[in-house]
Structure 1
């Protein structure tokens, strides 16, 4: 663990040269060791290490998640790999994956830092891009919606349309080209959830109006509310663009951009210095809109399904 932690701290220090908004504390070897140790102590964790002249120069470490939505899965999280030479990740994967597949873990996910050589090595190990993690600084100048749009905080009177908008993104992502396997909520479930949560002060919900009609919504919160952004992948003092959707028939008016900017502006007003977002890379709308708002990808979640 100490040797793996040193490698991880080196990797993170290099990563932060490209993305300085990522948390600085994991450049400390002792904190990096804590991250690796936590993964090692996960249930059913396993992996491989690379030794050169008795020195550990690479490792990969993965563990399954209990949620059935991920299939018979194995995850290499953000702290689950580090190598001196990117090509060696292929050898480490080959050594570790034999056990994973023998254990029936044939749907595999790996969270890879934004490093072109390391990504290329994973691509040549059979993985493809699935999900993006990104960050940008909080805005320093006031952001205003385009003419014809009004963006405001959601009210209890908006619950019916908020519930309808809650279904827009999962429906969109269930179809081509995303094909997400996530379970679709029902309108009744969405209504009940909004009735309970509309007044939750930990979340800032915005709606966009066009011609007096609500056509979209977005939700902001602290990034600490997101389990997908933790450890090395969680910037300090950051707001989170947790959800955004526009009614399909109302797209084209700039509501998606305005709603994203509303969360960015709320983050700045709240005192956050950064804003985090994530999206499926096959989501054609999100993967184009959020980078245009200045979000830079920090981690890539890659995916491989074995046996087909």
Structure 2
């Protein structure tokens, strides 16, 4: 299994050199797989030809706040040998998915490398859809974007000042509820967003900025040092842009470019080399804005909701 993962990672690094080189080593890849297997409620299957592993699928049962009972397949957890027909991925999903559905888990989520076109296509044909993109920005190559808004001023939030972010927490949800994302604003989702901000208050290394116009906050960026648990897809000396948004009534005025130019420059000056972030693929503004700034997508989250009626409408 580790040999397959190391080989796939080497291929991915041809396209995305910022990924961690050390996971091309089989022992490092094995350690990463063991981390996955040590998680609670984890299962998996391996496909063999004679004595050789030609594919594996690891999965974790989760209770998600918004999805409910969910099976999650992580970035290192679904690999088939490069010489095998990609349909093997379908066969493995069929085998494992039967167990998931039998146990009442109808939400299936997978994080798949962007470079793995064949696996992505197989999952699309199994009724998965694109849901979220994960991307990296090289601060070394970042160039300030033209079209800034000269009316806004930047302010870094310090200490208790970060609590102002709680008031701006719904801005993203309000935008996502509009066309074409149409993502419902549930109380659970709002509570989860506020919990995110609370978790980062006072956390070492966390930094945030607001853009103000006439002393009124109109946009914000929240950064934190990248978590080592995601080391396989996270370069050294990188930060995560946890949340970033502009007041929905003031978009299209260059405010987003202004705060991006300022905060990215500050993070670069602080010694960071990369900024990592993600966005929902149905969010058409984010899908255009972040790549335009230079973010490169290296991983895509795919999801499928199985019709729960299959638990009783199965022809038996």
Distance 2:142 2:177 in 1: 37
Q: Does 1:11 align with 2:15?
A: no
1:129-278 alignment runs, 5 A limit: 129-140=130-141, 143=144, 145-154=148-157, 162-174=165-177, 176=179, 177-179=181-183, 182-185=188-191, 193=198, 197=201, 202-224=205-227, 230-278=230-278
Question: TM-score scaled by structure 2?
Answer: 0.84
User: Is residue 2:74 matched to residue 1:71?
Assistant: no
What is the Cα deviation at residue 143 of structure 1?
3.4
Mapped to 2, the partners of 1:38 and 1:307 lie a distance apart of 32
| Residue number in structure 2 paired with 1:96 | 96
8 Å contact from structure 1 (residues 110, 301) kept in 2? yes
Equivalences, count = 298
Gaps spanning 5+ residues in structure 2: where?
Answer: 309-316
What residue is the counterpart of 2:80 in the other structure? 83
Q: Could you tell me whether the CA contact under 8 Å between 1:171 and 1:184 is conserved in 2?
A: no
Shift of 1:201: 5.3
Is the 2:137–2:276 Cα contact (8 Å) retained in structure 1?
yes
Find the aligned partners of 1:159 and 1:49 in 2 and give their Cα distance. Answer: 47
More deviation, 86-95/72-81: 86-95
Distance 1:93 1:148, change over 3 A: same
Runs of 4+ in 1 over 4 A off after TM superposition: 155-161
Aligned equivalent of 1:284: 284
Residues 51/193 of structure 1: CA separation in 2 closer, same or farther (3 Å cut): closer
- Calculate the TM-score normalised by the size of structure 1: 0.86
2: CA distance between counterparts of 1:137 and 1:76?
Answer: 27
Is the aligned partner of 1:25 residue 2:22?
yes
Q: Is the 8 A contact 1:257 1:289 kept in 2?
A: no
CA distance in 2, matches of 1:166, 1:262: 21
Unaligned 5+ residue runs, structure 1?
none
